[in-house]
Amino acid sequence: HSFPTRRPSHLLARPITFTRCLMKIAILSRRPKLYSTRRLEEEAKKRGHQVKIIDTLRCYMNITTQNPYIHYKGKILDKFDAIIPRIGASITFYGAALVRQFEMMGVFVANNSIAITRAQDKLRSLQILSRKGVGLPITGFAYSPDDIQDLINMVGGPPLVIKILEGTQGIGVVLAETRQAAISVIEAFLDLQAHIMIQEYIKEAKAADIRCFVVNGKVIAAMERQAKLGEFRSNIHRGGTIRLAKLTTEERSTAVRAAKVIGLDIAGVDLLRSNRGPLVMEVNSSPGLEGIEKATQKNVAEIIIKSIEKRALKY
């Protein structure tokens, strides 16, 4: 590549310069062989960038006045122009701290640490979204077993969905069809000291949800996930199937708004199709690429890299 490129100056009164900076990009990921990591690496390299996959948990930080820096496996970490954080739910705290350290060093990050932290707490995300008027399933949160009866009434009674806050991939999400079942499950979870939220069950969604992939304020791809027969959770890990989704204008704007309110530039926003319009179920800060690329046949990885080129240039 040779940059900048110029149009022949005789064609234009003032030559326009087209520039695209070639960058050194780090992907923060624990798993270099994961589809998402590989695809991002591949597309970034195709566009001429240098790419390194960095194991999030092998970075360690020095937090000293005016000179924050990072070591990686015994050596000082190279300078990067952009960081793509891919932080799994199990290492949220350390991952967010590392992203914050890059921010303190003045490095561009594709998703910022505050937004990542917000997204990884389902309850916190819903609270922030509710304040901003984004459509949500009615949701309750309580501590004491003494308040279960009224909590169930508060969210409209059974059937309801009970979720462990720290759960992912559908594990820890239970459908309670009767009041008695709900009370038993809630009591059991509270007794185990789990943090749970109680949610109205959106029956009309018919065991399907919509994953909207938002990049830089636009839905660039969307898929529908349908639960397998006899199951209400549409997660792929629970046997769900995926296909391309066509979105309404309202669904699009809801997904874009949810990502914006949480503060994510790259986000996977999950919607339920309800009788009162799209409802946001959760917002993911490291959405997977495999399902969405396969279901939509779109080059999501390339779109992400292009958006990072644009934003890093302005940074």
With H, G, I as helix, E, B as strand and everything else as coil, classify residue 57.
helix
Closest by Cα among 64, 73, 77, 75 to 107: 77
Fill in the per-residue mask, 165 to 194: x = in contact with ligand ADP (CB under 6 A), - = not in contact: --xxxx--x---------------------
Distance of alpha carbon 217 from alpha carbon 250, whole angstroms = 14
Residue 55 CA to residue 32 CA, distance in Å, equals 8
Q: Which is nearer to ligand ADP, 78 or 204 (CB)?
A: 204
Coil vs helix vs strand at 54: strand
CB count, 10 Å around CB of 202? Answer: 21
C-alpha to C-alpha distance for 196 and 180, rounded to whole angstroms? 17
Which listed range, 97-105, 163-171, 249-257, 291-299, lies at the site for ligand ADP (CB under 6 A)? Answer: 163-171
Site for ligand ADP in 23-52 (CB under 6 A): none
Closer to ligand ADP by CB, 268 or 308: give it. 268
| Rounded-to-integer distance, Cα 44 and Cα 25, Å | 8
Tokens 């780090």, residue located: 26
Using CB under 6 A, pick the residue from 23, 110, 161, 256 that binds ligand ADP: 161
Kindly state whether residue 210 participates in binding ligand ADP, applying the rule CB under 6 A: no
Among 116, 152, 264, 272, binds ligand ADP (CB under 6 A): 272
Residue 52 Cβ, how far from ligand ADP at the closest point, in Å?
30
Residue 260 CB partners (closer than 8 Å, separation 6+): 217
- Read off the tokens for 213: 């992939």
Residue 96: other Cβ atoms inside 10 A: 22
108 binds ligand ADP (CB under 6 A): no
Cα 105 versus chain centre, distance: 24
Map the footprint of ligand ADP across residues 224-263, applying CB under 6 A: 227, 232-235
* Least Cβ distance, residue 2 to ligand ADP (angstroms): 46
Which segment (42-50, 78-86, 164-172, 300-308) binds ligand ADP by CB under 6 A? 164-172
Our finding on whether 137 is near ligand ADP (CB under 6 A) is: yes
Closer of 110 and 160 to ligand ADP (Cβ):
160
Q: Which residues form the interface with ligand ADP (CB under 6 A)?
A: 137, 161, 163, 167-170, 173, 199, 201-202, 205, 209, 227, 232-235, 270, 272, 281-282
